Amino acid sequence: MAFSQQGTGELIEPDFRKAEVTKILETTYPMIFGREVEFQRLEVEIENGTITDNVFNDYTPVKVGDTVFIGRGYNPETDSEGFFVREVERISSIFYIFIFFAIVYLAIAGKKGLRSLIALSISIAAVWFVLIPSIAQGADPLF
C-alpha cells in the first residue's frame, strides 16, 4: 500500500515494522505542555531478527515482551532520527473481548443468538473475502 505525499503526487511506501520489545533501556518523565509524560528508549527485535536500540516510545508505556509497530521518525528535542512506537498490537485483547461478548450473547439469547452469530459471521466473511477484494480490483460495490 502506498500513500501520496501532499501536494506532490509522489507515492511513498509506509515504513512500519512489527517488533517485540526485548529490553527497556531508559525511562524518563519530561514535562510536555505542562504534563508529565512517560518517555521510553527501547531495544526491540524486528521480525527479520534485527535488534535495534534506537527506538523511542512516547505513545503508551510498554513492557518487555509486548509487540509493537514501529516506524521511522525524527525527534526534534534530541535532534536525532530513529524508530518510534506507532502502535501497540492489541489483537489478543480484541479476541478476548469478542469471546466474552459471544458468551454473554449466547447466555442471553440462546439458540436464536447462536443462529444470529452464525449469520453475522457469514456476513462479515462475505464482506471481507468477497466485497473488499472486488472493490480493490475496481468492481462497482453496488452492482
Residues 60-95: tens digit of each pLDDT: 889 999 999 988 877 666 676 778 888 889 888 899
The pLDDT of residue 85 is: 87
Segment 24-53 shows an average pLDDT of 84
Segment among 9-23, 46-60, 123-137 with least mean pLDDT: 9-23
Mean pLDDT on 26-36: 84
- Contact between residue 92 and residue 85 where contact means Cβ atoms under 8 Å apart: no
Cα 78 to Cα 38, 41, 48, 75, 83: the distances in Å are 16, 12, 28, 6, 13
In this predicted structure, what is the pLDDT of residue 14?
Answer: 61
pLDDT over threshold 70, residue 2: no
pLDDT interval class at 121 (50, 70, 90): very high
pTM: 0.62
Cβ neighbours around 61 below 10 Å, total: 15
Tens-digit pLDDT profile for residues 6-16? 445 555 556 78
